[in-house]
C-alpha cells in the first residue's frame, strides 16, 4: 500500500528537481556578458570554464557518488595528451579530437575503475594516486612522444567548425569552451536528477542499504567513474587546444588537488558548486598569486581548513544556511 | 656484486628514514582512522629544528636531534588538540582537505621564515668520511643512520610489546570501543600517540636530512613515499611499515640506479600491484 502512495510522490520529487528554475540561467548570462565586459581577460575566462568542467567531473564522482579520488588529473592529462598528440601529428580538427579525448579518458576510466573501485578508503585513495603518478612518470620519461618535461609543442589546431580561427585575444577559445561547458552542464544536470543519479547519492549515504534493496552498487560506481573520466578528458583536451601546448603539469597531483579545493570552496555535492568555486579561486589566484605566491599558499591553506571545519557546504552551503535563517526570522 | 651491495646499503639507509617517518603515520591512521596527508610536515619541522639549531646556533648534533624530537612532539600535541581532534570520525574528504590545507600553510610558512633553498646539512666530524670494514669502505653517516634506525626500531617494538602504554595502544587499535569501556582514556591516548608519532617523524626528518633534503616543499614532495609505506605495510601496524619501508627503499634505490630512464615508475606500479593483491596491505587486517 505504501509503495502505491510513495511512488507518485517520488516521481514528482524527481520531476520537480529536474524542472529548470529561473536562477539556473544566471551562469550563462554572466558567462555571455563577461565576453563583452572583459575582452582583455578572455584567456583567463577560458581557463575558468575549463576548470569548471574539470571540477564538475570531480563533483560527479566525489560529491554525488562519494568516491574520494586524488588522481582525477590522470584523465584530464590523458585527454590533453590525446588532443595534443592528434594536433601535433596532423589532425587538428578540434571537435573530433575533443570526442577522441573524451573516449580515451573514458576507456582509461573504465579499465582503471573496474580494477580499483573494488577497494575502499585509504586503499582506493592510494590506487587513484598511483595511477595518476604512473601516468605522469610515463609521460615524463617518454620524452620522444610527449616532449617530457619541456611539454608537447608543435600543435596545429584547425578552426572550430572550419570557420572560427583561434585568435590571439582568446575570443574563439572562450566561446568554444563556453559552448562545451554548456553541453557538459546539460549532461551533468540530466545525470544528477535522473533515477541513476539519485541511486548514486543513495550509495554515498548508505552503501549497505543500497546493496540490500538490490542496487548494482559496483556497476553504478563504475558507470559514473567512467562518465566523470570522460568529462575530465574533454576538459583536458580543451586546455590543450586553446593553449596549443601540453605541459606535464596536466597530470600532476597539484591539478587534482586544486580541482578538489575549488569544488569544496563552491560546495561539494551540488551541481553549481564548481560554477561558484572555480571562478572565485581562479580570479583570486590571478589577482594575488602572481604578486606573492607564498602568501597565496598560506591563505589558501588557512581557507581550506576553515571551510572544512566550519563550512562544509562551501559558499553554496553558507548561502543555504543564510536563506534558512532569514526565513525563520520572518 | 659491488653494485648490489651499494644498492642494498643505500636502500637500507633510505628505508630507515622512511620507516621512522612513516611508522607514526601508520599508527595514528590505524588508531584514529584519520587520513592524514600532512604527516610529512612534522618530519620537515624536525629537519628545520635540527638544521637551524646546528647551523644558526652551533648546537651539537645529538642535542639538535633530541631537540627536534621534543619540540615537534610537543607542538604536534597542540595541533592535534586544535585541529585533528575536530575531525575524528569525519569523512575522508574532510580529513584529506584539512591536512592538505595544513601542508599548504606549512610550505608557505617555511618559505617565508627560512627561504626557498634547502637547508645545508653537515654531519659532525666524527660521522663524516668513510668507515673501512676491511672488504669495503662505507660512508660513515649512512652507516650511522642504519645503526641508529635499527636501535630506534628495537626500542619502539620493545616499548609497544612490553610497556603498559604500548599495550593500551594495541588494545585501542584492535577495538577502540572495548578499550574505552574497560577504562582506557582513549582521548588522552590519542594525543600522546600522535605526539610520539610526530616526534618519531621529526627524528626521521632530522636524521635523514642528508638523504631527503630539508626544503619548504618537503611535506608534499615525499608525501607519496610515506603513504606508500603505510598503505603497503598495513594500517595500524608497527611491523608492516618496517618491511614495506625496506621493500620501497631498496627497490626504489635499485630501479633508479639500474634503470634511471624509468624513474619512479616501477615503485608506483609495484605499489599498485601489491595493493590490488592485498588491499589491506601486507600486514594489515581485513
E strands present in B63-113: none
**B209, part of any domain:** yes
Predicted pLDDT of residue B24: 84
**B286, part of any domain:** no
Confidence of residue B117 (pLDDT cuts 50, 70, 90): confident
**B79, part of any domain:** yes
Q: Which of A3-17, B56-70, B259-273 has the highest mean pLDDT?
A: B56-70
- Neighboring chain B residues of A64 at a CB cutoff of 8 Å: none
- Neighboring chain B residues of A127 at a CB cutoff of 8 Å: 272, 275-276
Predicted pLDDT of residue A160: 75
In angstroms, the CA B31 to CA B10 distance is 32
Q: Which residue of B has its CA nearest to A260?
A: B97
Q: Which of A116, A253, A300 sits opposite B104 (nearest CB)?
A: A300
- Could you tell me which of A184, A180, A174, A69 has the C-alpha nearest to residue A128? A69
What is the tens place of the pLDDT at every residue in B201-224? 999 999 998 888 898 889 888 999
Report the CATH number at residue B21.
1.10.3470
Per DSSP, the three-state class of A88 is helix
Confidence of residue B1 (pLDDT cuts 50, 70, 90): low
A311 interface with B at CB cutoff 8 Å: no
- Could you tell me which of A155, A15, A3 has the C-alpha nearest to residue A82? A155
What is the tens place of the pLDDT at every residue in A161-195? 877 777 777 888 899 999 999 999 999 999 998 88
Confidence of residue B285 (pLDDT cuts 50, 70, 90): low
pLDDT surpassing 60 at residue B286: no
Q: Which residue of A has its CA nearest to B259?
A: A141
Say yes or no for a CB contact (<8 Å) between B102 and A301.
yes
pLDDT (average), residues B43-47: 94
**In a structure prediction context, what are the per-residue pLDDT tens digits for chain A, which is 330 residues long?**
445 566 777 777 777 777 788 788 888 888 888 888 888 888 899 999 999 999 999 999 999 998 989 999 999 999 999 999 998 888 888 889 999 999 999 999 999 999 999 888 888 988 999 999 999 988 888 878 887 778 888 787 778 787 777 777 788 889 999 999 999 999 999 999 888 998 999 988 888 899 899 889 999 999 999 999 999 999 999 999 998 888 888 998 889 999 999 999 998 888 999 999 999 999 888 888 777 777 888 888 898 898 888 877 888 888 888 888 888 876
Per DSSP, the three-state class of A214 is coil
Say yes or no for a CB contact (<8 Å) between B98 and A305.
yes
Say yes or no for a CB contact (<8 Å) between A260 and B97.
yes
List phi, psi (to 5°) of A89.
-110, 30
- Neighboring chain A residues of B262 at a CB cutoff of 8 Å: 137, 141
Counting Cβ atoms within 10 Å, is residue B120 exposed (0-12), middle (13-18) or buried (19+)? exposed
**B98, part of any domain:** yes
Predicted pLDDT of residue A240: 92
In angstroms, the CA B13 to CA B147 distance is 9
Q: Give me the domain span that covers residue A89.
A: 2-329
Predicted pLDDT of residue B53: 92
* Top-confidence residue, B7 or B33: B7
Mean pLDDT score of chain B, rounded to an integer? 88
Kindly report which listed range (A183-197, B71-85, B168-182) carries the lowest average pLDDT score: B168-182
Residue to substitute from B31, B37, B95, B100, interface A, most A β-carbons within 10 A = B100
pLDDT (average), residues B20-25: 89
- Could you tell me which of B36, B68, B5, B41 has the C-alpha nearest to residue B221? B41
Number of domains in chain A: 1
Number of domains in chain B: 1
Q: Give me the domain span that covers residue B96.
A: 2-277
- Could you tell me which of A313, A255, A305 has the C-alpha nearest to residue A55? A255
A302 interface with B at CB cutoff 8 Å: yes
Say yes or no for a CB contact (<8 Å) between A298 and B94.
no
- Neighboring chain B residues of A296 at a CB cutoff of 8 Å: 108
Predicted pLDDT of residue A1: 43
pLDDT surpassing 90 at residue B133: no
Say yes or no for a CB contact (<8 Å) between B231 and A123.
yes
ipTM above 0.90, yes or no: no
How close B190 comes to chain A (CA, Å)?
20
Amino acid at each position: 500500500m505504501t509503495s502505491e502512495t510513495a511512488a507518485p510522490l517520488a516521481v514528482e520529487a524527481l520531476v520537480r528537481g529536474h524542472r529548470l528554475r529561473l536562477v539556473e540561467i544566471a551562469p550563462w548570462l554572466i558567462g555571455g556578458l563577461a565576453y563583452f565586459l572583459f575582452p582583455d581577460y578572455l584567456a583567463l575566462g577560458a581557463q575558468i570554464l575549463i576548470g569548471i568542467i574539470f571540477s564538475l567531473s570531480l563533483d560527479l564522482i566525489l560529491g554525488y557518488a562519494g568516491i574520494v579520488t586524488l588522481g582525477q588529473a590522470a584523465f584530464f592529462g590523458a585527454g590533453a595528451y590525446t588532443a595534443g598528440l592528434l594536433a601535433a601529428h596532423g589532425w587538428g580538427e578540434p571537435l573530433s579530437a575533443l570526442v577522441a579525448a573524451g573516449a580515451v579518458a573514458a576507456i582509461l576510466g573504465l579499465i582503471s575503475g573496474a580494477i580499483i573501485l573494488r577497494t575502499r578508503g585509504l586503499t582506493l585513495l592510494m590506487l587513484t594516486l598511483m595511477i595518476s603518478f604512473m601516468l605522469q612518470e610515463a609521460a615524463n620519461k617518454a620524452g620522444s612522444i610527449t616532449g617530457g618535461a619541456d611539454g608537447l609543442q608543435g600543435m596545429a589546431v584547425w578552426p572550430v567548425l572550419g570557420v572560427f580561427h583561434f585568435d590571439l585575444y582568446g575570443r574563439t577559445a572562450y566561446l568554444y569552451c563556453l559552448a562545451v561547458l554548456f553541453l557538459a552542464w546539460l549532461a551533468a544536470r540530466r545525470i544528477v536528477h535522473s533515477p541513476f543519479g539519485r541511486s548514486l547519492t543513495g550509495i554515498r549515504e548508505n552503501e549497505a542499504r543500497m546493496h540490500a534493496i538490490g542496487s548494482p552498487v559496483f556497476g553504478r560506481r563504475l558507470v559514473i567513474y567512467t562518465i566523470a573520466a570522460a568529462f575530465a578528458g574533454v576538459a583536458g583536451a580543451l586546455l590543450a587546444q586553446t593553449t596549443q601546448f601540453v605541459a606535464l603539469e596536466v597530470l600532476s597531483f597539484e591539478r587534482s588537488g586544486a580541482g578538489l579545493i575549488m569544488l569544496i570552496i563552491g560546495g561539494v555535492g551540488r551541481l553549481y558548486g564548481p560554477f561558484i568555486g572555480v571562478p572565485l579561486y581562479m580570479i583570486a589566484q590571478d589577482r594575488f598569486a602572481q604578486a606573492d605566491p607564498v602568501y597565496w599558499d598560506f591563505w589558501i591553506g588557512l581557507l581550506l581548513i576553515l571551510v572544512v571545519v566550519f563550512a562544509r557546504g562551501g559558499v553554496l552551503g553558507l548561502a543555504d544556511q543564510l536563506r534558512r535563517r532569514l526565513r525563520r526570522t520572518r | 656484486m659491488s653494485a648490489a651491495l651499494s644498492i642494498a646499503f643505500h636502500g637500507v639507509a633510505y628505508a630507515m628514514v622512511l620507516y621512522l617517518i612513516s611508522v607514526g603515520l601508520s599508527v595514528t591512521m590505524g588508531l584514529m582512522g584519520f587520513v592524514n596527508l600532512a604527516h610529512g610536515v612534522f618530519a620537515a619541522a624536525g629537519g628545520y629544528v635540527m638544521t637551524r639549531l646546528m647551523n644558526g646556533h652551533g648546537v651539537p648534533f645529538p642535542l639538535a636531534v633530541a631537540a627536534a624530537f621534543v619540540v615537534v612532539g610537543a607542538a604536534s600535541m597542540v595541533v592535534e588538540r586544535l585541529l585533528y581532534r575536530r575531525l575524528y570520525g569525519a569523512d575522508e574528504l574532510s580529513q584529506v582537505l584539512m591536512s592538505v590545507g595544513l601542508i599548504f600553510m606549512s610550505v608557505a610558512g617555511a618559505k617565508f621564515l627560512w627561504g626557498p633553498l634547502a637547508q645545508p646539512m653537515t654531519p659532525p666530524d666524527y660521522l663524516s668520511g668513510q668507515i673501512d670494514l676491511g672488504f669495503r669502505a662505507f660512508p660513515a653517516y649512512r652507516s650511522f643512520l642504519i645503526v641508529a634506525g635499527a636501535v630506534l626500531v628495537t626500542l619502539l617494538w620493545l616499548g609497544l610489546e612490553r610497556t603498559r602504554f604500548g599495550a593500551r595502544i594495541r588494545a585501542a587499535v584492535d577495538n577502540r570501543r572495548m578499550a574505552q569501556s574497560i577504562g582506557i582514556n582513549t582521548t588522552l591516548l590519542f594525543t600522546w600517540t600522535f605526539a610520539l608519532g610526530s616526534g618519531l617523524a621529526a627524528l626521521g626528518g632530522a636524521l635523514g636530512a642528508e638523504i631527503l633534503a630539508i626544503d619548504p616543499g618537503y611535506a608534499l614532495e615525499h608525501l607519496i613515499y610515506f603513504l606508500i609505506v603505510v598503505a603497503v605495510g598495513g594500517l595500524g601496524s608497527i611491523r608492516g611499515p618496517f618491511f614495506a619501508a625496506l621493500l620501497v627503499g631498496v627497490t626504489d634505490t635499485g630501479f633508479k640506479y639500474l634503470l634511471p630512464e624509468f624513474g619512479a615508475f616501477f615503485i608506483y606500479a609495484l605499489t599498485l600491484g601489491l595493493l590490488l593483491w592485498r588491499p589491506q596491505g601486507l600486514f594489515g587486517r581485513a
